[in-house]
Amino acid sequence: MKKHLGILLILFFSFNIQAQGFRTSQDSINFFYENLFEIMKSGYLFKEKVNWEKVEPEIKNNLKQYSDFKTSLNEVSTLFDLTKADHSRVYYDNQQFSGNFPVPTKDDFTEQWIKKYKTKPEFEVKVLDNRYGYILVPGMYIEKNLHKQSQELYDQIAEIKRSNKLQGWIIDLRFNTGGDIHPMLLALYDFLGDNVVWGVLDINKNLVDEIELKKGKYKANSRTVSYIKPDGELLNETKVAVVTNIATGSSGEITALAFKGRKNTIFIGEKTFGKTTTNNKADLPFGAFMTLMTGYDCDRNGNYYEKIIPDITVIEKDNFDDLLLDGNIHEAIKFISEQE
């Protein structure tokens, strides 16, 4: 998910109406879904492909079976299934509701990946073999203090940069399932430099939004969203290997495609999950909100990727106990060590 402080920050509606103000539970349910339909019919990326005259009556008929508002939210899954909204969710009372779409299972991952995943990996920066910088960028959800937390991530990289003379860097996105894109890209500012790093396309694949990094600032359509204070020289021409797998999704994929078009860059591992659509947050009644698919993600040159395909494919060679024995890291080091 690209969250509240994430992509574009478009709020379609804002409601502060409490459920108890309605005479019956059905009143609350109907009010909620009327607004949900209105938001989707006005902003959903594939709204023109949906037969609303069929979908809306079907959902409203299904809603008659629910005796309270909270359980009626189970119908959100049916709505998203019928509209193929596979990258949208509704959030209410610490619960989330999404459609029933295929996702990777345990069988799709190595034992090494599963073992590491269970530890809930955090952002990590270190040096491998005294010559190669390694950055693990997992999914992250930052509720507040965006600048402060982005700066802390950036500073970890800056410290390693200052203290070591490295041949190149490895950016590992194998645990980046999504979240807030701002800290991810701000942390990696030195590698991306002052450039357009990604954008948003409309349904016809025309560019409608452009995101750039400039002097440590994250700017969406020239508006500063967040920032870090850069330290030292840029690494925008340093060799970088980006490692992905099928868990790399949503904002994780944006982080990867931000390196598309960058010099001295290679992509290694497996193809990504395929959630390369932009989400915007929309407020719903009763304190609920949703993330709605509103556009396609694209790279700095306006290219859309359904999934990001690696330049070098590496399958089932994870080794997080010893990264120097990891097949992906081996290929990354090979690329970094090659003479021009």
Q: What CATH code is carried by the domain that includes residue 305?
A: 3.90.226.10
Residue 283 domain flag: no
Residue 314 domain flag: yes
pLDDT of residue 142: 82
Question: To the nearest 10°, the Cα dihedral for 116, 120, 125, 128?
Answer: -10
Domain extent, residue 248, equals 106-276+294-337
Reported confidence tier of residue 7, pLDDT bands at 50, 70, 90: very low
Reported confidence tier of residue 108, pLDDT bands at 50, 70, 90: very high
- 74-84 pLDDT tens trace: 999 999 999 99
Q: What is the mean pLDDT of the chain?
A: 93
Residue 162 domain flag: yes
Name the domain count of the chain.
Answer: 1
Predicted model pTM: 0.90
Residue 328 domain flag: yes
Residue 163 domain flag: yes
Residue 28 domain flag: no
Residue 291, both tokens: 């993330």
Q: How far apart are CA 168 and CA 133, in angstroms?
A: 6
C-beta of residue 205 within 8 angstroms of C-beta of residue 28: no
- Tell which residue, 13, 7, 5, has the closest CA to residue 209: 7
- 110-130 pLDDT tens trace: 999 999 999 999 999 999 999
- Tell which residue, 299, 318, 319, has the closest CA to residue 308: 299
How do 207-214 and 217-220 pair as beta strands?
antiparallel
Residue 289 domain flag: no
Q: How far apart are CA 292 and CA 321, in angstroms?
A: 38
- 297-339 pLDDT tens trace: 999 999 999 999 999 999 999 999 999 999 999 999 999 999 7
Q: How far apart are CA 320 and CA 170, in angstroms?
A: 14
Residue 240 domain flag: yes
Helices 25-43/75-83 angle, 10° precision: 20
